[in-house]
Structure 1
């Protein structure tokens, strides 16, 4: 009996240790209204996900404007208080192409105070921020100055998204002055009508993987759990269709299936607010579960264990229902 009791206690201790050392996963939330449905709440609850990287607004310098402007600020609801929220600000690269150095501080202040304003509406506070910008050699200096000024003003943790090409060519594109980077392990191929998948192609990823271990920043990794559709006309991409559930084409008499990942419009019609001409093709690009597991294998092999957090893009039931409910547990178990 005593032997059984000690075995039982040992099992409990091992189970507690596993739970204690279980590395958390997080999600991006990329809508203009923060309002979770029951499916999304269940995904967070079942995976013990407490941190959300929430897109707060974009910043763009449109041709008709004389200054960079915030675009589509998010509206938060009271449920935001249930999570550790990290605001994400997406800044179009052309903002830094056109921004004058003398206007840099004004932009920093505009971003800083808009985040405070959004939070105050819900009497909510955040203590970290992430900047998402696909900067180039031409814009790196002013973007890095922007980050540095923001850090000095806000006095909080700052991160930035990092593309694979910025990892490989770090000498040219530079390394941002942030506390950590998030490696965006997707959107690595050309968006076209070929048979490739622009979201993830292992052959493309392999051109960059060997450079991850030497990147001089602490890194998290963002993995794709989204899909989109490409509208093709005469073999050319004419529109990118986000938040499309491809299975809904199957029972639509306006379309005919022409391959595993393509449908064709039988005649001119509207669907989900999009207009299709006769013979327009819709090509699905989606990351199946086996590719997500392959991505974690790639990260395990090439990062030397330097990546300590996985963030999934993005939390949206339209995309998540395409996976088995245990997909995140499988990915986590596959992640060293």
Structure 2
């Protein structure tokens, strides 16, 4: 144990290391400094140690978080992919083999700045939120660290939300590329009908892919779970009912019989074949919201789309200035 040293102003200063963690303090008396150092060194030796007494690394935290926390989330797949990526050179200079209790805010800031050179601000902010959550669980529940270093680091400002509306010409082009026909005989044609229902209802890709025939009734399409974790019933117009009915006979259980990953991959390929760009399947939700906003009160729109706050409508309602000017002149 280090020995307290008297400073020029009569105080007692003490400094010591536990692993890679350096601690220091200044006190009025030599005994106070010694008592504090003994207590603090014991805390540091206990803190950050797990089974077997070893000091845990950031990789250890990622692994445990993946198994115990991410596994219970709806976005488990997203978190697993990103937590695994944190342990690759993509996230240099963040070193996952570094002792968890030696990582400070400067390390996080250096990682943030390096990531901003590779991906956009929104992605970095999202990754910082996940990283902070790992440290927070390690601090509160596992007692592996006594501080979350992400708290003292500025997140990048939020980027502008997407305002992409899919035009009628683009809709026709993507439907042709997917092989749309009234009688569904292929996966591509199933995705075409799924895309149409997305435009008619505003449902997300994951919600559409999870639909089963017992979920459809006169009341609408019953979603047992959604992005927010809560279920809801989406009302169906006659046109939406017709789109669903055309799927009869394609699969006896699942309506569209396709996973969100397959839907996304085949939709992108069809978009490329059609010579189109600049929009994704999820932009159908923006398109549907913008169309339905002209017919529904904002509170009704929030119920249909599953938004807990009316401010979400401003993100998805994206009319162009020409349409607004036309309606203002009526």
Q: TM tier, shorter chain?
A: under 0.3
Greater Cα radius of gyration, structure 1 or 2: 2
Normalising to structure 2: TM-score of the pair?
Answer: 0.25
Structure with more of its chain in strand, by fraction: 1
Structure with more of its chain in helix, by fraction: 2
Normalising to structure 1: TM-score of the pair?
Answer: 0.25
